Amino acid sequence: MSTIGINQIVVVQEYFVSLDEFNCHPILCTQGDLVEIILQLLVFAEGLSKRAYWLRQKTDPLSMSAYMAKVLYNDGTGTKPSPLANWEHLQQELVGAEQAQDIFAVFQEQSLEVAQSTIMKAGLPPHQGCSWLVEPYLSQEKPIKFSGTDIAGRHGGENHAGSMVDALAHFSYIHSMQSLVLVDLPGIPQVNTHPGLPGNVPIVLFNVQTHTQEGSSGLGDQGQAGIDNFLVQHECVALCVQLQLNTLMDM
Ligand SMILES: [Zn+2]
C-alpha cells in the first residue's frame, strides 16, 4: 500500500479549552469553522492507552509542520472505547494540558515550553464523531522522560533541564493551591521550529498529565494518593529554594 493511499482527508471542527479566570473552571470552545485536514491512517506511535497518527493541515500542503493526532484505543479495561468515551477522555486530557499552560505562564522558565494541544472532531461522514488530541510533532528524537506517573523526577543541579522540570512540578502543586501536580513529564529537544512555538526554546514538554485532588483528569490520575506520592519523592532543587517553594511545602 502506498503512503498516499492511506492519507485521508477529514473535515474537522477544532476545539480548545479556556479556563474561567474567576473560578478556573474549564470551558470547551470551538476554534474557527470546519476545516479539512490530512490524516495518515498508519499508527506511528503507540502507548498503553493511546495511538498516534500523523496529521497535516490541508491548507498548508507545503509546510513541513506535522502534528500528532492521538486517540484512545484502550480505556484501561482492555476494551476499545466508543467514539463518545474517546471524546470525553480527550477533553479531560485537554483540560490538563490547559492547566499546565496556565501554570507554566506564571512559572516563566525560558528554557522550557509546553506544547499547545487542541482537539479535532470529525464533523462529516464517514468519520463523523471521531476525535483526536492534536499536538505539534517536534522532532524524530526520542523524548526525554523527566518524570513518570508515579515516579517524581530527581535531577541534580548538573542536569539543567531536568531540575527545571522538577521545580515546575513542585511549582504546579503550590500554584494550584495544592489541588494538583504535573506528572509524567516527557520533553523533546526542539530541533525545527514549529508554528505557535517560540523557535529559541530548547526543550518542549508535551503529553503532560496531572494528579488532581478529585482524581478528575482522566486515565492515569491517581488522585490525592498520586499527589502524596509526589510529595514524598520530590527533592527540592536550587530553583525550588530560589522560588521559596520549599518553605511552602506542606508535608
Ligand atoms: Zn521542590
Domain ranges (residues) in the chain: 4-248
Taking alpha carbons only, the member of 205, 242, 231, 224 closest to residue 103 is 205
Distance 17 CA to ligand 1 centre (A): 28
C-alpha cell at 162: 531536568
Rounded distance between C-alpha atoms, residue 14 and residue 31, angstroms: 5
CA distances from 171 to 51, 109, 167, 174, 236 (A): 30, 11, 6, 5, 11
Distance 216 CA to ligand 1 centre (A): 24
pLDDT in tens, 145-189: 888 777 888 877 677 888 889 999 999 999 999 999 998 888 887
The amino acid at 211: H
Which residue do the cell numbers 480527550 mark? 90
Distance 164 CA to ligand 1 centre (A): 10
CB atoms within 10 A of CB 236: 17
For 4-248, the fitting CATH number among 3.40.50.2300, 3.20.200.10, 3.40.50.720, 3.30.70.20 is: 3.20.200.10
Greater pLDDT, 138 or 215 = 215
Taking alpha carbons only, the member of 69, 8, 81, 26 closest to residue 44 is 69
Distance 166 CA to ligand 1 centre (A): 7
Report the complex ipTM: 0.99
The helix-helix angle for 160-175 and 83-107 (nearest 10°) equals: 100
Distance 132 CA to ligand 1 centre (A): 34
Distance 176 CA to ligand 1 centre (A): 14
Distance 189 CA to ligand 1 centre (A): 24
Distance 244 CA to ligand 1 centre (A): 9
pLDDT of residue 21: 83
Which of 52-61, 119-128, 149-158 reaches the highest mean pLDDT?
A: 119-128
